[in-house]
Each structure stands twice: as C-alpha cells, then as structure tokens.
Amino acid sequence: MPLWLGAGKLVLASQSESRHAILAAAGIPHEVEPAHLDEREIEERAGVNDAARVAALLAREKALAISGRRPGTLVLGADQTLAVGTRSLSKPRDRAAAREQLMHLRGRTHELHSAIAVARDDLIMFEHRDVARLTMRDFSDAFLEKYLDAAAAA
C-alpha cells in the first residue's frame, strides 16, 4: 500500500541529500527543486536571531518560493539550525571555521532546531518544528583533526 495518496508528486524545496533520502525511504514520490534563497539576507530582513524561529522562517520561505512557481503543487520546505546557548552556528565556510565550531561544541550540550512547512498556491498549509538536545563528547585534538580529515575526503 503506497504511503503517498496525492495525485501529484510532492516538491522538496531543498538540495539536501538527507531530506531527499528520507522522503525516498518513506516511499513518497517527489521532485527536488531547491529554492536558492539567500538565507542570511532573509534572517537580517526579518530581524530574527532565535535559532528556532530562524529554522521556521527559512522553512516557510523555501516552501513559498517554490510554491509560487508550481501552482496546485504541495511544496515542502525544511531547515535546521544549531545553537549553543544563545549562539547560533551556521555551516562552516572552511576547515578552520569547522575546527572552531567543533571545539566550541566539544563537551557541551547544543540544540538542533528542525522546521518544516508545506505550501500550495502561495499559502502555508502546515508547519511543524521540533528541537533535539545533543551533548557532544569531550574529544581529543587528535580525534578532531582525524574527523576533519575524513570530512574533507568525503
């Protein structure tokens, strides 16, 4: 019995391989159409800096951006943000930034805020957000360098 009962495919407004894999594994037929938004500009324009609200805002904006180009189609936007206390962390731009972020996370509990939004015809039909609290182990500097080497090779 198919999980997806919709007449058409869902459109995933993301280029995330993980999100694509989750939908595929769930048996949900979908197309991928990344929104290609300037996420930092959207955050600044909205004046939002709380990690949970940023994730929700970006999920909505991604869904709405594609929904406007795909009449009658359900569009799924999703985003995740990471925060340690009041400090939000973005994707590191290079190895040095990744090292700095991982050192900041080492031995600390952080929050991963996830949000989704489903839009059709420029209207948000459904939204959800959740948070996972994770504690990173207190790893050695040698482990950190091996991890960064492995990530660079992938």
Q: Which residues are catalytic?
A: 79
The amino acid sitting at 70 is: R
Dihedral sign of CA atoms 76, 117, 28, 133 in order:
positive
H helices present in the chain, as ranges: 17-25, 39-46, 51-67, 95-105, 141-153
- CA distances to 11, 96, 138, 145 from 142, rounded to whole Å, are 42, 15, 12, 5
